[in-house]
Structure 1
Amino acid sequence: MQSEEWKIVQKKKTRQPTINVSPMIKKNHNFQYLNRDSKKKVYGNNVTQISSKDVIYFIEEKMKALNKSVFFKELKEMIYCQFLPPNRPTLVDIVCYGIGSIEKSNKSQYQFALMLLFKNIFQITGKVYAYDPVLSQVDIEVLTHYNVESIKINEKAKRIVTNQTLFYMPHCPLGLYNNLIKANWDRIKLKDIIIVGNRLEFYTERTTAFLESKAPYIIPISFLMILQSLLFPSTTITIPDNIFNDLCCQWFPIDKVDAYERDSEFWILKQELDEDPEII
Protein backbone atom coordinates (compact mmCIF):
# COMPACT_ATOMS: atom_id res chain seq x y z
CA MET A 1 0.00 0.00 0.00
CA GLN A 2 2.80 2.41 0.76
CA SER A 3 4.37 1.96 -2.68
CA GLU A 4 0.98 2.51 -4.37
CA GLU A 5 0.47 5.75 -2.43
CA TRP A 6 3.95 6.87 -3.40
CA LYS A 7 3.04 6.64 -7.08
CA ILE A 8 0.24 9.22 -6.68
CA VAL A 9 2.42 12.27 -6.20
CA GLN A 10 1.37 15.90 -5.94
CA LYS A 11 3.51 16.93 -8.90
CA LYS A 12 1.30 14.92 -11.20
CA LYS A 13 -1.76 16.78 -9.99
CA THR A 14 -0.33 20.27 -10.19
CA ARG A 15 1.65 19.98 -13.41
CA GLN A 16 -0.17 21.41 -16.40
CA PRO A 17 -0.69 18.51 -18.81
CA THR A 18 -0.37 20.70 -21.90
CA ILE A 19 3.18 21.74 -21.03
CA ASN A 20 4.87 18.37 -20.32
CA VAL A 21 8.14 19.87 -19.16
CA SER A 22 11.19 17.67 -19.17
CA PRO A 23 12.25 16.80 -15.57
CA MET A 24 15.83 17.66 -16.49
CA ILE A 25 14.80 21.12 -17.72
CA LYS A 26 12.42 21.62 -14.79
CA LYS A 27 15.29 21.20 -12.34
CA ASN A 28 17.65 23.51 -14.22
CA HIS A 29 16.09 26.88 -14.93
CA ASN A 30 19.39 28.70 -15.35
CA PHE A 31 20.82 26.50 -18.07
CA GLN A 32 23.73 27.40 -20.35
CA TYR A 33 23.43 27.13 -24.13
CA LEU A 34 25.99 25.57 -26.44
CA ASN A 35 25.77 28.54 -28.79
CA ARG A 36 23.43 31.38 -29.74
CA ASP A 37 21.34 29.39 -32.22
CA SER A 38 21.30 26.00 -30.54
CA LYS A 39 18.17 24.70 -28.85
CA LYS A 40 20.15 22.06 -26.91
CA LYS A 41 21.54 22.41 -23.39
CA VAL A 42 24.15 20.44 -21.54
CA TYR A 43 23.59 19.08 -18.00
CA GLY A 44 26.64 16.99 -17.19
CA ASN A 45 26.72 14.33 -19.90
CA ASN A 46 23.07 14.88 -20.91
CA VAL A 47 21.88 16.96 -23.86
CA THR A 48 18.24 18.07 -23.66
CA GLN A 49 16.09 19.71 -26.33
CA ILE A 50 14.16 22.81 -25.24
CA SER A 51 10.70 23.49 -26.65
CA SER A 52 8.16 26.28 -26.44
CA LYS A 53 6.33 24.22 -23.78
CA ASP A 54 9.45 24.30 -21.61
CA VAL A 55 9.75 28.08 -21.98
CA ILE A 56 6.04 28.51 -21.19
CA TYR A 57 6.61 26.54 -18.01
CA PHE A 58 9.49 28.86 -17.03
CA ILE A 59 7.33 31.93 -17.67
CA GLU A 60 4.41 30.55 -15.63
CA GLU A 61 6.79 29.90 -12.73
CA LYS A 62 8.17 33.42 -12.94
CA MET A 63 4.67 34.90 -13.03
CA LYS A 64 3.90 32.99 -9.82
CA ALA A 65 7.12 34.25 -8.22
CA LEU A 66 6.36 37.83 -9.20
CA ASN A 67 2.79 37.59 -7.93
CA LYS A 68 4.06 36.53 -4.51
CA SER A 69 6.79 39.17 -4.29
CA VAL A 70 6.77 42.38 -2.27
CA PHE A 71 8.15 44.10 -5.38
CA PHE A 72 5.04 43.32 -7.42
CA LYS A 73 2.67 44.14 -4.57
CA GLU A 74 4.18 47.62 -4.29
CA LEU A 75 4.21 48.03 -8.07
CA LYS A 76 0.51 47.16 -8.31
CA GLU A 77 -0.38 49.69 -5.62
CA MET A 78 1.55 52.34 -7.55
CA ILE A 79 -0.28 51.47 -10.77
CA TYR A 80 -3.70 51.47 -9.14
CA CYS A 81 -3.04 54.93 -7.68
CA GLN A 82 -1.55 56.56 -10.78
CA PHE A 83 -2.58 54.86 -14.02
CA LEU A 84 -5.95 53.18 -13.84
CA PRO A 85 -9.20 55.11 -14.43
CA PRO A 86 -10.31 57.69 -13.41
CA ASN A 87 -6.70 58.96 -13.42
CA ARG A 88 -6.21 58.05 -17.08
CA PRO A 89 -8.34 56.74 -19.96
CA THR A 90 -8.26 52.97 -20.36
CA LEU A 91 -5.20 51.54 -22.11
CA VAL A 92 -5.99 49.62 -25.29
CA ASP A 93 -2.73 48.11 -26.61
CA ILE A 94 0.71 47.05 -25.42
CA VAL A 95 3.77 47.29 -27.67
CA CYS A 96 6.87 45.48 -26.44
CA TYR A 97 10.29 46.36 -27.88
CA GLY A 98 13.74 44.98 -27.11
CA ILE A 99 12.83 42.24 -24.66
CA GLY A 100 15.42 39.82 -26.06
CA SER A 101 15.05 36.08 -26.58
CA ILE A 102 12.59 34.55 -24.12
CA GLU A 103 13.95 31.14 -25.01
CA LYS A 104 17.56 31.99 -24.27
CA SER A 105 17.44 34.49 -21.42
CA ASN A 106 16.28 34.10 -17.83
CA LYS A 107 16.14 37.91 -17.61
CA SER A 108 13.89 38.12 -20.68
CA GLN A 109 11.55 35.52 -19.19
CA TYR A 110 11.09 37.64 -16.05
CA GLN A 111 10.49 40.78 -18.11
CA PHE A 112 8.01 39.00 -20.37
CA ALA A 113 6.23 37.55 -17.32
CA LEU A 114 5.82 41.05 -15.88
CA MET A 115 4.42 42.30 -19.20
CA LEU A 116 1.78 39.54 -19.08
CA LEU A 117 0.84 40.61 -15.56
CA PHE A 118 0.55 44.21 -16.81
CA LYS A 119 -1.82 42.93 -19.48
CA ASN A 120 -4.13 41.66 -16.75
CA ILE A 121 -3.77 44.68 -14.47
CA PHE A 122 -4.56 47.18 -17.22
CA GLN A 123 -7.28 44.90 -18.63
CA ILE A 124 -5.96 45.35 -22.16
CA THR A 125 -8.85 45.16 -24.63
CA GLY A 126 -6.82 45.56 -27.81
CA LYS A 127 -3.69 43.72 -28.91
CA VAL A 128 -0.24 43.01 -27.54
CA TYR A 129 2.65 43.31 -30.01
CA ALA A 130 6.32 42.40 -29.65
CA TYR A 131 9.52 42.80 -31.62
CA ASP A 132 13.16 41.97 -31.08
CA PRO A 133 15.63 41.04 -33.85
CA VAL A 134 16.88 38.05 -31.82
CA LEU A 135 13.50 36.32 -31.50
CA SER A 136 13.81 32.60 -32.32
CA GLN A 137 11.20 30.21 -33.66
CA VAL A 138 10.61 28.99 -30.11
CA ASP A 139 10.11 32.62 -29.02
CA ILE A 140 7.51 33.11 -31.77
CA GLU A 141 5.65 30.01 -30.60
CA VAL A 142 5.64 31.32 -27.03
CA LEU A 143 4.33 34.71 -28.17
CA THR A 144 1.54 32.97 -30.09
CA HIS A 145 0.62 30.92 -27.03
CA TYR A 146 0.05 34.14 -25.08
CA ASN A 147 -1.76 35.88 -27.96
CA VAL A 148 1.10 38.28 -28.53
CA GLU A 149 1.48 39.31 -32.16
CA SER A 150 5.03 39.35 -33.49
CA ILE A 151 5.89 42.54 -35.39
CA LYS A 152 7.34 41.44 -38.73
CA ILE A 153 9.63 44.38 -39.48
CA ASN A 154 12.03 46.44 -37.44
CA GLU A 155 10.05 49.60 -36.72
CA LYS A 156 12.93 51.08 -34.70
CA ALA A 157 10.20 52.17 -32.26
CA LYS A 158 8.78 54.67 -34.77
CA ARG A 159 5.20 53.49 -34.27
CA ILE A 160 2.57 56.24 -34.31
CA VAL A 161 -0.16 55.63 -31.74
CA THR A 162 -3.83 55.56 -32.66
CA ASN A 163 -5.10 54.87 -29.14
CA GLN A 164 -3.92 54.64 -25.54
CA THR A 165 -0.80 52.46 -25.66
CA LEU A 166 1.64 51.06 -23.12
CA PHE A 167 5.14 50.80 -24.62
CA TYR A 168 7.02 48.14 -22.69
CA MET A 169 10.73 48.80 -23.34
CA PRO A 170 12.90 47.59 -20.44
CA HIS A 171 16.58 48.56 -20.78
CA CYS A 172 16.33 49.59 -24.45
CA PRO A 173 18.94 51.76 -26.21
CA LEU A 174 18.47 55.51 -25.91
CA GLY A 175 17.71 55.84 -29.62
CA LEU A 176 14.56 53.74 -29.35
CA TYR A 177 13.04 56.03 -26.72
CA ASN A 178 13.96 59.04 -28.84
CA ASN A 179 12.38 57.49 -31.96
CA LEU A 180 9.14 56.69 -30.13
CA ILE A 181 8.79 60.23 -28.83
CA LYS A 182 9.70 61.76 -32.20
CA ALA A 183 7.10 59.63 -34.01
CA ASN A 184 4.44 60.92 -31.62
CA TRP A 185 5.72 64.49 -31.18
CA ASP A 186 2.25 65.94 -30.92
CA ARG A 187 0.42 67.13 -27.85
CA ILE A 188 -2.54 64.81 -28.55
CA LYS A 189 -0.49 61.69 -29.27
CA LEU A 190 1.93 62.13 -26.36
CA LYS A 191 -0.98 61.99 -23.93
CA ASP A 192 -1.82 58.52 -25.28
CA ILE A 193 1.55 57.03 -24.31
CA ILE A 194 2.86 55.30 -21.21
CA ILE A 195 6.48 54.13 -21.37
CA VAL A 196 7.80 51.39 -19.13
CA GLY A 197 11.55 51.63 -19.60
CA ASN A 198 14.77 53.27 -18.53
CA ARG A 199 14.45 56.44 -16.46
CA LEU A 200 14.78 59.11 -19.16
CA GLU A 201 15.91 61.76 -16.69
CA PHE A 202 19.09 59.72 -16.30
CA TYR A 203 20.21 60.77 -19.77
CA THR A 204 20.12 64.47 -18.88
CA GLU A 205 23.20 63.79 -16.76
CA ARG A 206 25.11 63.36 -20.03
CA THR A 207 26.36 66.33 -22.02
CA THR A 208 23.84 68.40 -23.96
CA ALA A 209 25.90 67.92 -27.13
CA PHE A 210 25.48 64.15 -26.88
CA LEU A 211 21.71 64.41 -26.50
CA GLU A 212 21.40 66.92 -29.34
CA SER A 213 23.14 64.56 -31.74
CA LYS A 214 21.73 61.22 -30.56
CA ALA A 215 18.39 61.97 -28.91
CA PRO A 216 17.20 65.60 -29.23
CA TYR A 217 13.68 64.73 -28.05
CA ILE A 218 14.94 63.74 -24.61
CA ILE A 219 16.06 67.33 -23.91
CA PRO A 220 12.65 69.11 -23.92
CA ILE A 221 10.99 66.21 -22.13
CA SER A 222 13.42 66.29 -19.22
CA PHE A 223 14.31 69.97 -18.99
CA LEU A 224 10.84 71.39 -19.61
CA MET A 225 9.19 68.85 -17.32
CA ILE A 226 6.45 67.53 -19.57
CA LEU A 227 7.30 63.99 -18.53
CA GLN A 228 6.30 62.46 -15.21
CA SER A 229 7.78 59.23 -13.87
CA LEU A 230 7.46 56.75 -11.05
CA LEU A 231 10.46 54.57 -10.32
CA PHE A 232 9.88 50.85 -9.88
CA PRO A 233 10.17 49.64 -6.28
CA SER A 234 13.29 47.75 -5.26
CA THR A 235 13.36 44.03 -5.96
CA THR A 236 13.71 41.46 -3.21
CA ILE A 237 16.13 38.59 -2.79
CA THR A 238 13.79 36.27 -4.73
CA ILE A 239 14.02 38.42 -7.90
CA PRO A 240 17.47 39.33 -9.33
CA ASP A 241 18.02 43.07 -9.01
CA ASN A 242 19.46 43.52 -12.52
CA ILE A 243 16.16 42.63 -14.19
CA PHE A 244 14.01 45.62 -13.25
CA ASN A 245 16.66 48.03 -11.95
CA ASP A 246 16.27 51.72 -12.86
CA LEU A 247 12.97 51.12 -14.67
CA CYS A 248 10.11 53.62 -14.53
CA CYS A 249 6.53 54.07 -15.52
CA GLN A 250 6.63 57.34 -17.48
CA TRP A 251 3.85 59.38 -19.04
CA PHE A 252 2.90 62.82 -20.30
CA PRO A 253 0.30 64.47 -18.04
CA ILE A 254 -2.39 66.37 -19.90
CA ASP A 255 -1.92 69.59 -17.99
CA LYS A 256 1.85 69.66 -18.55
CA VAL A 257 1.57 68.99 -22.28
CA ASP A 258 -1.28 71.49 -22.72
CA ALA A 259 0.88 74.17 -21.14
CA TYR A 260 2.82 74.21 -24.44
CA GLU A 261 -0.26 74.10 -26.67
CA ARG A 262 0.39 77.54 -28.18
CA ASP A 263 4.17 77.24 -28.25
CA SER A 264 4.66 76.43 -31.95
CA GLU A 265 8.43 76.51 -31.66
CA PHE A 266 8.34 73.77 -29.03
CA TRP A 267 6.54 71.38 -31.41
CA ILE A 268 8.89 71.87 -34.36
CA LEU A 269 10.37 68.53 -35.43
CA LYS A 270 14.07 68.21 -34.65
CA GLN A 271 16.70 66.41 -36.71
CA GLU A 272 19.16 63.94 -35.21
CA LEU A 273 22.72 64.32 -36.41
CA ASP A 274 23.63 60.69 -35.74
CA GLU A 275 21.51 57.60 -35.09
CA ASP A 276 22.24 55.72 -31.89
CA PRO A 277 24.61 52.87 -32.97
CA GLU A 278 23.01 50.53 -30.42
CA ILE A 279 19.51 50.92 -31.84
CA ILE A 280 17.84 47.66 -32.83
Structure 2
Amino acid sequence: MADSDGFIVVKKGKGRRPRPNRDCVSSSTEVFDRNKSDHDIDLGRVKEKIHLLRDELKCSEFYTNVLDQLKQCCLTVYQERKKQDSESRCDADLEDVERDVAGLCLNDPPKNTTLPPDMECICYGVGNISGNIIAQYQLGLVMALREDFKLDQDRCFMFDPVFTEGEKQTLRDLHFSIIPVNEEGKRRCPRPALFFLPHCGKAFYNNLLWCNWQPQTLCNIVIIGNSFKAMVERTPERLLKETGLYIMKIQEYTAEIPVSQAFHHSDVFNDMAIHYFPLHRLTTAPRELWEAHDAPVYSQHDAEIILS
Protein backbone atom coordinates (compact mmCIF):
# COMPACT_ATOMS: atom_id res chain seq x y z
CA MET A 1 0.00 0.00 0.00
CA ALA A 2 1.04 3.65 -0.23
CA ASP A 3 1.93 5.70 2.84
CA SER A 4 0.82 9.30 3.36
CA ASP A 5 3.67 10.62 1.19
CA GLY A 6 2.66 8.49 -1.75
CA PHE A 7 5.57 6.07 -1.45
CA ILE A 8 5.10 2.33 -1.47
CA VAL A 9 5.29 0.37 1.77
CA VAL A 10 6.16 -3.31 1.35
CA LYS A 11 5.07 -5.68 4.12
CA LYS A 12 7.15 -8.80 4.46
CA GLY A 13 5.77 -12.07 5.72
CA LYS A 14 4.86 -15.62 4.80
CA GLY A 15 1.93 -16.47 2.69
CA ARG A 16 0.77 -16.40 -0.85
CA ARG A 17 2.11 -13.49 -2.89
CA PRO A 18 -0.71 -11.45 -4.45
CA ARG A 19 -0.82 -11.27 -8.22
CA PRO A 20 0.44 -7.86 -9.39
CA ASN A 21 -2.03 -5.54 -11.04
CA ARG A 22 -0.58 -4.90 -14.48
CA ASP A 23 -2.57 -1.70 -14.84
CA CYS A 24 -1.04 -0.27 -11.66
CA VAL A 25 2.60 0.82 -11.84
CA SER A 26 2.84 0.90 -8.03
CA SER A 27 2.33 -2.86 -7.92
CA SER A 28 5.95 -3.28 -9.03
CA THR A 29 7.55 0.01 -8.06
CA GLU A 30 10.86 0.27 -6.28
CA VAL A 31 10.75 1.20 -2.60
CA PHE A 32 12.26 4.56 -1.72
CA ASP A 33 14.37 4.19 1.40
CA ARG A 34 14.56 7.52 3.24
CA ASN A 35 17.66 6.32 5.07
CA LYS A 36 19.55 5.61 1.87
CA SER A 37 22.17 8.23 0.98
CA ASP A 38 22.88 9.56 -2.49
CA HIS A 39 26.08 7.49 -2.46
CA ASP A 40 23.96 4.32 -2.34
CA ILE A 41 21.94 5.28 -5.43
CA ASP A 42 23.12 4.95 -9.02
CA LEU A 43 21.95 8.37 -10.22
CA GLY A 44 23.31 7.72 -13.69
CA ARG A 45 20.97 4.75 -13.97
CA VAL A 46 18.12 6.90 -12.67
CA LYS A 47 18.71 9.41 -15.49
CA GLU A 48 18.76 6.63 -18.07
CA LYS A 49 15.49 5.22 -16.75
CA ILE A 50 13.77 8.61 -16.81
CA HIS A 51 14.85 9.12 -20.43
CA LEU A 52 13.36 5.71 -21.29
CA LEU A 53 10.09 6.55 -19.56
CA ARG A 54 9.98 9.90 -21.39
CA ASP A 55 10.40 8.08 -24.71
CA GLU A 56 7.70 5.58 -23.74
CA LEU A 57 5.31 8.41 -22.96
CA LYS A 58 6.04 10.27 -26.20
CA CYS A 59 5.00 7.19 -28.18
CA SER A 60 1.67 6.87 -26.37
CA GLU A 61 -1.82 7.99 -27.37
CA PHE A 62 -2.10 9.47 -23.87
CA TYR A 63 0.77 11.88 -24.50
CA THR A 64 -0.50 12.92 -27.92
CA ASN A 65 -3.86 13.84 -26.39
CA VAL A 66 -2.31 15.77 -23.49
CA LEU A 67 0.07 17.66 -25.78
CA ASP A 68 -2.71 18.70 -28.17
CA GLN A 69 -4.97 19.83 -25.32
CA LEU A 70 -2.18 21.80 -23.65
CA LYS A 71 -1.17 23.56 -26.86
CA GLN A 72 -4.75 24.64 -27.41
CA CYS A 73 -5.03 25.92 -23.84
CA CYS A 74 -1.76 27.83 -24.03
CA LEU A 75 -2.70 29.35 -27.37
CA THR A 76 -5.97 30.52 -25.86
CA VAL A 77 -4.10 32.10 -22.95
CA TYR A 78 -1.72 33.77 -25.41
CA GLN A 79 -4.45 35.13 -27.70
CA GLU A 80 -6.38 36.63 -24.79
CA ARG A 81 -3.20 38.23 -23.48
CA LYS A 82 -2.40 39.69 -26.91
CA LYS A 83 -5.91 41.07 -27.16
CA GLN A 84 -5.66 42.60 -23.68
CA ASP A 85 -2.29 44.18 -24.52
CA SER A 86 -3.59 45.55 -27.79
CA GLU A 87 -6.55 47.20 -26.09
CA SER A 88 -4.24 48.94 -23.62
CA ARG A 89 -2.01 50.49 -26.32
CA CYS A 90 -3.60 53.57 -27.79
CA ASP A 91 -1.02 53.88 -30.56
CA ALA A 92 -1.27 50.25 -31.74
CA ASP A 93 -2.79 49.26 -35.02
CA LEU A 94 -5.79 47.54 -33.42
CA GLU A 95 -7.26 46.34 -36.66
CA ASP A 96 -4.19 44.26 -37.57
CA VAL A 97 -3.73 42.89 -34.05
CA GLU A 98 -7.38 41.91 -33.71
CA ARG A 99 -7.26 40.18 -37.09
CA ASP A 100 -4.24 38.17 -35.88
CA VAL A 101 -6.00 37.25 -32.65
CA ALA A 102 -9.21 36.29 -34.43
CA GLY A 103 -7.19 33.87 -36.54
CA LEU A 104 -6.28 31.81 -33.49
CA CYS A 105 -9.10 29.27 -33.30
CA LEU A 106 -9.00 26.85 -30.34
CA ASN A 107 -10.30 23.93 -32.38
CA ASP A 108 -8.19 24.59 -35.45
CA PRO A 109 -4.89 26.34 -34.56
CA PRO A 110 -3.35 28.06 -37.58
CA LYS A 111 -0.11 26.82 -39.04
CA ASN A 112 3.17 28.46 -37.98
CA THR A 113 1.58 29.78 -34.75
CA THR A 114 4.01 29.75 -31.84
CA LEU A 115 3.24 29.29 -28.16
CA PRO A 116 3.84 32.18 -25.75
CA PRO A 117 7.55 33.02 -26.25
CA ASP A 118 8.06 33.96 -22.59
CA MET A 119 6.16 31.05 -21.02
CA GLU A 120 7.65 29.31 -17.96
CA CYS A 121 7.11 25.77 -16.68
CA ILE A 122 7.01 25.18 -12.91
CA CYS A 123 6.72 21.78 -11.27
CA TYR A 124 6.02 21.32 -7.56
CA GLY A 125 5.71 18.05 -5.68
CA VAL A 126 6.87 15.39 -8.13
CA GLY A 127 8.51 13.44 -5.27
CA ASN A 128 11.68 11.38 -4.94
CA ILE A 129 12.78 10.66 -8.50
CA SER A 130 15.52 8.21 -7.48
CA GLY A 131 13.29 5.45 -6.15
CA ASN A 132 9.65 6.07 -7.03
CA ILE A 133 8.59 5.08 -10.50
CA ILE A 134 5.43 7.19 -10.38
CA ALA A 135 7.64 10.24 -9.79
CA GLN A 136 9.88 9.12 -12.66
CA TYR A 137 6.95 8.82 -15.06
CA GLN A 138 5.67 12.24 -14.01
CA LEU A 139 9.11 13.77 -14.54
CA GLY A 140 9.26 12.03 -17.91
CA LEU A 141 6.02 13.78 -18.88
CA VAL A 142 7.41 17.19 -17.91
CA MET A 143 10.57 16.50 -19.93
CA ALA A 144 8.55 15.51 -22.99
CA LEU A 145 6.36 18.62 -22.76
CA ARG A 146 9.39 20.85 -22.24
CA GLU A 147 10.96 19.49 -25.44
CA ASP A 148 7.80 19.94 -27.50
CA PHE A 149 7.27 23.44 -26.09
CA LYS A 150 10.96 24.23 -26.69
CA LEU A 151 11.57 25.60 -23.18
CA ASP A 152 15.13 26.27 -22.04
CA GLN A 153 16.51 25.39 -18.61
CA ASP A 154 16.18 28.97 -17.36
CA ARG A 155 12.41 28.72 -17.90
CA CYS A 156 11.85 25.25 -16.36
CA PHE A 157 11.73 25.06 -12.58
CA MET A 158 11.46 22.21 -10.08
CA PHE A 159 10.90 22.05 -6.35
CA ASP A 160 10.01 19.43 -3.80
CA PRO A 161 11.16 19.61 -0.17
CA VAL A 162 11.92 15.87 -0.26
CA PHE A 163 14.56 16.17 -3.02
CA THR A 164 17.98 14.93 -1.92
CA GLU A 165 21.12 16.79 -3.00
CA GLY A 166 21.81 14.01 -5.49
CA GLU A 167 18.33 14.33 -6.95
CA LYS A 168 18.74 18.09 -7.30
CA GLN A 169 21.97 17.56 -9.24
CA THR A 170 20.27 14.91 -11.37
CA LEU A 171 17.52 17.39 -12.24
CA ARG A 172 20.13 20.01 -13.16
CA ASP A 173 21.78 17.42 -15.40
CA LEU A 174 18.37 16.91 -16.99
CA HIS A 175 18.26 20.68 -17.68
CA PHE A 176 15.92 21.89 -14.95
CA SER A 177 16.48 24.85 -12.63
CA ILE A 178 15.98 24.12 -8.92
CA ILE A 179 13.90 26.62 -6.95
CA PRO A 180 16.13 27.35 -3.94
CA VAL A 181 13.39 27.94 -1.33
CA ASN A 182 10.01 26.48 -0.48
CA GLU A 183 7.60 28.89 -2.17
CA GLU A 184 4.59 26.93 -0.86
CA GLY A 185 3.08 27.47 -4.30
CA LYS A 186 3.08 31.27 -3.86
CA ARG A 187 4.54 32.21 -7.24
CA ARG A 188 3.22 35.31 -8.96
CA CYS A 189 2.73 35.01 -12.73
CA PRO A 190 3.03 38.29 -14.66
CA ARG A 191 3.71 36.20 -17.79
CA PRO A 192 2.31 32.88 -19.13
CA ALA A 193 3.11 29.94 -16.86
CA LEU A 194 2.44 26.23 -17.09
CA PHE A 195 2.25 24.53 -13.68
CA PHE A 196 2.56 20.79 -13.17
CA LEU A 197 1.32 19.84 -9.68
CA PRO A 198 1.02 16.04 -9.69
CA HIS A 199 -1.25 14.93 -6.84
CA CYS A 200 -0.32 17.92 -4.66
CA GLY A 201 -2.42 18.88 -1.67
CA LYS A 202 -5.19 21.46 -2.04
CA ALA A 203 -3.15 24.07 -0.16
CA PHE A 204 -0.63 24.29 -3.04
CA TYR A 205 -3.34 25.15 -5.56
CA ASN A 206 -4.98 27.46 -3.05
CA ASN A 207 -1.73 29.41 -2.49
CA LEU A 208 -1.06 29.72 -6.23
CA LEU A 209 -4.54 31.12 -6.85
CA TRP A 210 -4.36 33.51 -3.88
CA CYS A 211 -0.98 34.87 -5.00
CA ASN A 212 -2.42 35.69 -8.45
CA TRP A 213 -5.91 36.73 -7.34
CA GLN A 214 -6.78 39.20 -10.07
CA PRO A 215 -8.00 38.58 -13.63
CA GLN A 216 -4.86 40.05 -15.28
CA THR A 217 -2.58 37.47 -13.67
CA LEU A 218 -4.86 34.45 -13.29
CA CYS A 219 -5.43 34.48 -17.05
CA ASN A 220 -1.70 33.77 -17.53
CA ILE A 221 -1.86 30.41 -15.73
CA VAL A 222 -2.38 26.88 -17.02
CA ILE A 223 -2.37 24.07 -14.43
CA ILE A 224 -2.00 20.32 -14.89
CA GLY A 225 -3.03 18.77 -11.62
CA ASN A 226 -5.83 17.38 -9.49
CA SER A 227 -9.29 18.17 -10.84
CA PHE A 228 -10.76 21.29 -9.22
CA LYS A 229 -14.23 19.94 -9.98
CA ALA A 230 -13.47 16.71 -8.12
CA MET A 231 -11.96 18.59 -5.17
CA VAL A 232 -15.07 20.75 -4.77
CA GLU A 233 -17.47 17.83 -5.18
CA ARG A 234 -15.63 15.40 -2.88
CA THR A 235 -14.54 17.71 -0.06
CA PRO A 236 -16.99 18.86 2.61
CA GLU A 237 -17.47 22.62 2.35
CA ARG A 238 -16.22 23.23 5.89
CA LEU A 239 -12.91 21.49 5.14
CA LEU A 240 -12.58 23.09 1.70
CA LYS A 241 -12.88 26.55 3.23
CA GLU A 242 -9.91 25.74 5.49
CA THR A 243 -7.46 24.50 2.84
CA GLY A 244 -9.02 25.31 -0.54
CA LEU A 245 -11.13 28.46 -0.24
CA TYR A 246 -9.74 30.01 -3.45
CA ILE A 247 -10.27 26.76 -5.35
CA MET A 248 -13.92 26.89 -4.33
CA LYS A 249 -14.21 30.57 -5.30
CA ILE A 250 -12.64 30.22 -8.76
CA GLN A 251 -14.08 26.88 -9.83
CA GLU A 252 -17.08 28.27 -11.71
CA TYR A 253 -14.80 30.61 -13.71
CA THR A 254 -12.32 27.85 -14.57
CA ALA A 255 -12.08 25.99 -17.87
CA GLU A 256 -11.26 22.37 -16.97
CA ILE A 257 -10.35 19.60 -19.39
CA PRO A 258 -10.01 16.06 -17.92
CA VAL A 259 -6.67 14.45 -18.74
CA SER A 260 -7.09 11.37 -20.90
CA GLN A 261 -7.06 8.12 -18.93
CA ALA A 262 -5.62 6.23 -21.91
CA PHE A 263 -2.25 5.72 -20.20
CA HIS A 264 -1.72 2.03 -19.45
CA HIS A 265 -0.71 2.61 -15.81
CA SER A 266 -3.84 3.83 -14.09
CA ASP A 267 -2.22 5.25 -10.94
CA VAL A 268 0.30 7.65 -12.50
CA PHE A 269 -1.91 10.39 -13.95
CA ASN A 270 -5.27 9.50 -12.41
CA ASP A 271 -7.79 12.18 -11.42
CA MET A 272 -5.82 14.88 -13.26
CA ALA A 273 -7.08 17.71 -15.42
CA ILE A 274 -5.87 20.75 -17.33
CA HIS A 275 -7.15 24.06 -15.94
CA TYR A 276 -6.99 27.58 -17.29
CA PHE A 277 -8.79 30.81 -16.53
CA PRO A 278 -10.27 32.56 -19.58
CA LEU A 279 -10.18 36.32 -19.16
CA HIS A 280 -13.67 36.73 -20.56
CA ARG A 281 -14.97 34.51 -17.74
CA LEU A 282 -12.94 36.21 -15.00
CA THR A 283 -14.19 39.66 -15.97
CA THR A 284 -17.80 38.53 -15.47
CA ALA A 285 -17.14 37.78 -11.79
CA PRO A 286 -18.49 40.28 -9.25
CA ARG A 287 -16.02 42.83 -7.91
CA GLU A 288 -16.51 41.45 -4.41
CA LEU A 289 -14.83 38.21 -5.46
CA TRP A 290 -11.50 39.97 -6.04
CA GLU A 291 -11.78 42.23 -3.01
CA ALA A 292 -12.03 39.28 -0.59
CA HIS A 293 -8.33 38.44 -0.65
CA ASP A 294 -7.14 37.35 2.79
CA ALA A 295 -3.93 35.29 2.85
CA PRO A 296 -4.51 31.58 3.51
CA VAL A 297 -3.44 30.29 6.92
CA TYR A 298 -2.71 26.61 7.54
CA SER A 299 -1.91 24.56 10.58
CA GLN A 300 1.69 23.38 10.95
CA HIS A 301 0.16 19.90 11.20
CA ASP A 302 -1.65 20.18 7.88
CA ALA A 303 -0.63 17.01 6.03
CA GLU A 304 -1.35 18.55 2.60
CA ILE A 305 1.57 20.98 2.53
CA ILE A 306 5.07 21.27 3.96
CA LEU A 307 5.41 24.84 5.20
CA SER A 308 8.67 26.76 4.84
Give the TM interval when normalised to the shorter protein: 0.7 to 0.9
Per-residue CA deviations over 1:199-236 (Å, capped at 9, x if unaligned) read 011121222222222221112212xx211111111134
Name the structure, 1 or 2, with higher relative contact order (CA <8 Å, separation 6+): 2
Aligned to 2:94: none
Query: Does the residue aligned with 1:217 lie in a helix, a strand or coil?
Result: helix
Unaligned 5+ runs, structure 1 = 1-28, 41-47
Aligned to 1:217: 246
Aligned to 1:200: 228
Match runs of 1:126-275 below 5 Å? 127-205=155-233, 206-222=235-251, 225-237=252-264, 240-260=265-285, 263-268=286-291, 269-272=293-296, 274-275=298-299
The 2-side partners of 1:266 and 1:204 are apart by 17
The 1-side partners of 2:30 and 2:271 are apart by 26
The answer to whether the 8 A contact 2:30-2:132 is kept is: no
Query: Does the residue aligned with 1:83 lie in a helix, a strand or coil?
Result: helix
| Cα 1:56–1:274 shift into 2, 3 Å | closer
Per-residue CA deviations over 1:8-49 (Å, capped at 9, x if unaligned) read xxxxxxxxxxxxxxxxxxxxx94445x313158xxxxxxx94
The answer to whether the 8 A contact 1:91-1:122 is kept is: no
Taking structure 2 as the reference length, the TM-score comes to 0.71
Aligned to 1:67: 58
Answering whether residue 139 of structure 2 is matched by residue 112 of structure 1, we say yes
Query: Does the residue aligned with 1:229 lie in a helix, a strand or coil?
Result: strand
| Cα 1:274–1:82 shift into 2, 3 Å | closer
Taking structure 1 as the reference length, the TM-score comes to 0.78
The answer to whether the 8 A contact 1:69-1:236 is kept is: yes
Per-residue CA deviations over 1:82-105 (Å, capped at 9, x if unaligned) read 433645745611111011011121
Shift of 1:69: 1.3
The 2-side partners of 1:213 and 1:244 are apart by 26
More helix, by proportion: 2
The 1-side partners of 2:215 and 2:72 are apart by 24
One-letter amino acid matched to 1:100: G
One-letter amino acid matched to 1:189: T
The 2-side partners of 1:273 and 1:211 are apart by 13
Aligned to 2:47: 56
State which drifts further: 92-101 or 117-126.
Answer: 117-126
The answer to whether the 8 A contact 1:216-1:270 is kept is: no
Unaligned 5+ runs, structure 2 = 1-27, 79-103, 107-114
The answer to whether the 8 A contact 1:66-1:114 is kept is: yes
